[in-house]
Amino acid sequence: MDTQQAAARTGLDVANAAKANEALGIICEISNILGTGLDRETLSVLVGLLESGINPEALATVVKELRREVRTQRGLAWLILTAS
């Protein structure tokens, strides 16, 4: 999505949308360096939640729990497939 499309979607002017896009790019780079495994879209949602006032520690706990649940579900699927 280009800056003008992002500006139209979010109601920001083009300059602010460009700054937000640049900031998200930097956050993505940091995320990649830290090896979080979070994609750009997920990071964008998380940043939006933080900007709306969500408690960062609570959000981190939810992300960790969701990851744990996904691993559990994948493990169960693997067991079912290999048991057949």
Q: Residue 26 pLDDT > 70, yes or no?
A: yes
Q: Residue 78 pLDDT > 80, yes or no?
A: no
| 36 and 67 part of one domain | no
Is residue 7 within 8 Å of 14, Cβ to Cβ?
yes
Q: Mean pLDDT score of the chain, rounded to an integer?
A: 86
| 7 and 48 part of one domain | yes
| 34 and 68 part of one domain | no
What pTM value is reported for the model?
A: 0.71
Tell the residue number behind the tokens 């949602």, with chain if given: 45
CA dist 41 and 28 (Å) reads 10
- Which residues form the domain of 31? 1-53
Per the structure, the count of domains in the chain is: 2
Distance (Å) of CA 42 to CA 4, 16, 67: 21, 21, 13
Instruction: Over range 5-9, report the average pLDDT.
Output: 57
| 17 and 38 part of one domain | yes
Q: Residue 57 pLDDT > 90, yes or no?
A: yes
Phi-psi sector, 12: left (phi>0), alpha (psi -120 to 50), beta: beta
| 3 and 33 part of one domain | yes
